[in-house]
Amino acid sequence: MTMEKIPICLLILTGLSETLPQEDLHRKTFVFREDLSTAYVILRPLPEEPLQNFTICLRSLSDQTRPYGLFSYATATEDNEILIFKPKHGEYRVYVGGDYVAFKIPEGPTDWEHVCFSWESAAGLAEFWINGKPQPRKGLKKGHTISTKAFLLLGQDQDSYGGGYDPYNSFTGELTDVYMWDYILSPTKMRSAYQDLQLPRCTLGWRNLQYEIKGDVVVKARLR
């Protein structure tokens, strides 16, 4: 596992020239109000250099039983360059470079679910944490490099670069605590992310987020 470090500098999202102000969304959430929609939230900036490792963490609340996309990073050549997707209750699928592995999770009543997904190219390993607990690591896309020329969003599964949204795979519910690092978090920091404790600095993070809402999504205070 790689050592933690301050992330590399990041660039503005390709194709979006304006610079959005950063906002501290602590104790706030994106509410995706409409079922079967094409709404989403664009995130920026993107990595300046191709990725060999990364960690993504986020927290969601939904009572949907159909499939939905949470975090989608698409390039011109691969719409599922990075994707966190929930096809049904009790399962998550994580994609890198168009390939995926599935992780089974305990089923229970509707509640917040905190997930962290990390990947390292050299070993070709996907690491998945649910509510502060690690799942068995699985092999995924060894030797792959993730391009920086991408479109990054929340709440949809892109079927093409910046588009191709299928409302049946859209997210309905609440999303919060979204972070992305260009390295693998330590187990201690994975648990800190779940507990909403202090985390290593990152440019794409909930406390300094640059975003743009498209469609029926509102920012509200969290109900807890």
Residue pLDDT, tens place only, 164-211: 999 999 999 999 999 999 999 999 999 999 999 999 989 799 999 999
Give the pair of three-digit tokens for residue 100: 């995926």
pLDDT in tens, 77-106: 999 999 999 999 999 999 999 999 999 998
pLDDT, tens only, 124-140: 999 999 999 999 999 99
Assign 15 a pLDDT band (cuts: 50, 70, 90): very low
Q: Which residue has the higher pLDDT, 38 or 224?
A: 38
Query: What is the CB-side half-sphere exposure of residue 211 using CA atoms within 13 A?
Result: 25
Counting every residue, how long is the chain? 224
Q: Are 106 and 207 in contact (CB under 8 A)?
A: no
38-221 under CATH 3.10.20.30, yes or no: no
